[in-house]
Structure 1
Amino acid sequence: MKEIVVCGEALVDIVTTSPAPSPGRLAPMQPALGGGPFNVAVTLGRLGSSVSFLSRVSTDHLGDEILRALSASGVGLSMCQRGDEPTTLAVATIGDDGAASYSFYTDGTADRLVADPGPLPGTVGAVCFGTLSMVLEPGVSVYESVMRRAHAEGTLVMIDPNIRPAVIADPDAYRRRFAGWMQHTDIVKVSDEDAAWLAQGSAGTGVRDWLDAGVSAVVMSAGADGLRVTTERLEVSVPAPHVQVVDTIGAGDTVGGALLHWLSAHSALNPSSVADLDAPGWQTALGFAAAAAAVTVSRPGADPPWAGEQVTD
């Protein structure tokens, strides 16, 4: 089985789910491990993929817990770097519809200072990028170099921008940079909200632009409306399973991880196989990813499913 390398940040979410009890008092807050790339890696490890996490993690107590959680979910740590800078924090507020809004504390944190690991091992079949790590310097330039090298070597590249407007100081510059990544990317996984935000620019930031630039497949998540993939040859949609939604934290990350797992399990973890996947194949792949995400949204926080836990392939 080829290895999947997930690149990007791990952080601590401080989650509040209820209003303040009275003026001058804060609502109860619950810390939870998270970050888009962290959640993708955990999803892959729990489903049984061979996966490693490429990041810089703090040597503080929170960083120790991040590594412990990754290891417990079956994620390899050989590519993790350590630094004495603090762990990134995110404050998440859950709305009545289960959706989360975020604010971030990222200045001088460990994950921003990741060093270039050099060429990846020949055992690597795919690399995945996304969220804050593809916004904040100097880390984004490091990950961009990893992306370009991997794609040039024929390794499958997936990106999930997981747009967080609060940390994007120059939206137009980000959109231009994102458009430049498309020639080095095989799969773009976006939410419908991500796609709408990106389309506000004029730098080739729409689905057709991405496909024209060389992307093989654009997978779009639309919450309760399910998942859709668009390629040069086809468009396939699957509905979202009906579940009681507790919150949506980690749902999109679960989709990305589950999709990569399905491709690996079906010997399709390479650019040519993704480009050639037919409609029935995509139907099955998206159905698997949607079922995995349904487990995640049915319980609080980013808690992806383990192999066999209400997920079939």
Structure 2
Amino acid sequence: MIVVAGEALVDMVPVGDDELTPLAPKLGGGPYNVAVALGRLGVPAAFLSRISTDHFGEQLVKRLRASDVETGLVQRGPENTTLAVVGLAEDGSARYAFYVEGTADRLVEDPGPLAEGTEAVSFGTLSLVLEPGASVYEKVLRRESKRLLTALDPNIRAGLIDDPGAYRERFASWLPDVGLLKLSVEDARWLADAEDGDVIEIARTWISQGPAAVVLTKGGDGLSVITATDQVDVPPVKVDVVDTIGAGDTVQGALLAWLRDHDALDVAKVRALSREEWTAALTYAGAAAAITCSRAGAEPPFASELTAALGG
């Protein structure tokens, strides 16, 4: 079982090309998308969060169950669902404006030690920024890292970070408790406060502080992984991009799925992966993300779709 901890929200996505085009609600949130991706790929997964009892919240829970994600760790409350208003650039890349005050996911409570049978736990995005929930998730991260593989995708939303310096220090303090770090090139440079920095060298610095591997998403340039001894790159999958919403989350979910399928949900085993194994893992994750990019909103593929895309 892989537990994914963090927020669920609703993306308000443009459905036309006009300046004030109508917006359609799409279920999402970085951690939520990771959980859905895992469930759709056939991996036993559970979601840890607090979700509203409003209409959007009901739909969020319904979709988790339809994606075979366990909801026993989902807390419920009457607070509103977080909204993200999405703007799309010409290349399909997304920009977000968030409505987060007093929303349900910020009020999550510590569930205590995760159940026996949990193999890994994944964290990321708004849930690690917005208090009081951020401190709760941080507590879970530090506690579970002592016995499980922990995965982190910080997925930076700079507009919600009031004190970048303090957040960068907090991120650095997490690294000894992170087994697998996945992030975009842009996020890596933001976290290193180095707009034009060498992301490979940045990643190597982080490797020395804890993670077994750092996976970089590079948009149209594909994926890379940096370990203590190596660097592996895979090219992008060519696809007609509708939008990039949920692409990075799909990479996170697919990577964890590949690791589980290959008995590598363990820090030592991640460190021991060969170049050939990393190439296979990144190819799998890149193909999954390409499918997500080919359709509107965060719609990770099902296992059968990914198998077909990979020629299986």
Task: Quickly name the TM-score band, shorter chain normalised.
Answer: over 0.9
1:63 deviation in Å? Answer: 0.5
Aligned to 1:177: 170
2:229 is aligned with 1:236? no
| 1:120-269 map, 5 Å | 120-152=114-146, 154-200=147-193, 206-269=202-265
Given the alignment of the two structures, is residue 270 of structure 1 paired with residue 255 of structure 2, yes or no? no
Could you tell me how far apart the structure 1 residues matched to 2:286 and 2:183 are?
14
Unpaired runs of at least 5, structure 1: none
Distance in 2 of aligned mates of 1:291 and 1:173: 36
SS in 2 for 1:215: coil
- CA–CA distance in 2 between the matches of 1:246 and 1:19? 13
How far did 1:272 drift?
Answer: 1.1
Unaligned runs of 5+ in 2: 195-200
The TM-score with structure 1 as length reference comes to: 0.95
Q: 2:6 aligns with which of 5, 8, 23?
A: 8
The partner residue of 1:106 within 100, 104, 116 is 100
Q: CA deviation at 1:19?
A: 4.5
2:106/2:133 contact within 8 Å kept:
yes
Residues 99-158 of structure 1 deviation map (CA, whole Å, 9 limit, x = unaligned): 010000000000000000000112100000000001000111000110011111x20000
Amino-acid identity (%): 54
8 A Cα contact 1:17 1:93, kept in partner: no
* Residue 209 of structure 1, CA deviation: 2.5
Q: CA deviation at 1:20?
A: 3.6
Distance across 2 between alignment mates of 1:287 and 1:308: 16
- Asked if structure 2 preserves the Cα contact closer than 8 Å seen for 1:198 and 1:206, the reply is no
**SS at 1:41 equivalent:** helix
Task: Give the SS at the match of 1:31.
Answer: strand
Aligned AA for 1:308? Answer: S
1:176 aligns to what SS in structure 2?
helix
Offset of residue 17 of structure 1: 4.9
Once the two structures are TM-superposed, the CA of residue 199 in structure 1 deviates from its matched residue by 1.5
SS of 1:82's equivalent in the other structure is strand
Please provide the CA RMSD for this pair. 1.4
Shift of residue 48 of structure 1?
0.3
Q: CA deviation at 1:296?
A: 0.4
